[in-house]
Amino acid sequence: MRVTQESDYALRVIIFLYQRGIGERVEARVISEKENIPLRFLLKLLRKMAAANIVRSYRGSGGGYAIEKQPSEISVREVIEAVEGPIYVNKCLGDSSQCNLDRTSTCHIHRALQMVQDKLLANLDELTFEQILKLEP
């Protein structure tokens, strides 16, 4: 698994919003400029994260985007899956028909990668923005 540019941007946006303050509205243009994220791409990310109830979108004058959950309530996995979809170490773990040998039920590699995936997902679930914000820059 590789963290894509889209996930990297989304994680940075969440940190940026937390640094501004819970409930503080910020225009997408400001986020784009401060985080060096192309505005069109950022708007796409923000829509996905708003649909997943990670950020809240406000329209009109004084509008923008805000984070309203506590940092302990949002995990890295939640953000990545909001923008990328489910996380799979190998495509056969998400869809057994992707195995060209059609033997996911008896495949040793499949079982081994399933263990890796389970640990990865558990770690991403446990890693909250509260923990990230406490890390030294």
The closest alpha carbon to 64, from 128, 21, 106, belongs to: 21
Neighbouring C-beta atoms of residue 44, cutoff 10 Å: 14
- Contact between 39 and 31 under an 8 Å Cβ cutoff? The reply is no
CATH number for position 82: 1.10.10.10
Query: Each residue of 82-112: pLDDT tens digit?
Result: 999 998 887 777 777 777 667 667 788 778 8
Query: Each residue of 123-135: pLDDT tens digit?
Result: 999 999 999 999 8
Query: Each residue of 4-36: pLDDT tens digit?
Result: 999 999 999 999 999 999 999 999 999 999 999
C-alpha 51/C-alpha 57 separation (Å) is 9
The closest alpha carbon to 73, from 12, 11, 127, 9, belongs to: 127
57, β-bridge pairs: 65
Query: Each residue of 68-88: pLDDT tens digit?
Result: 999 999 999 999 999 999 988
Q: How many folded domains does the chain comprise? A: 1
HSE value, Cβ hemisphere, 13 Å, CA-based, for 90: 17
- What CA–CA distances, in Å, run from 71 to 12, 38, 130? 13, 25, 5
| pLDDT > 90: percent of the chain | 71
- Our CA dihedral for 123, 13, 88, 124, rounded to 10 degrees, sits at 10
Domain region containing 97: 5-134
Residue with tokens 């409930």: 23
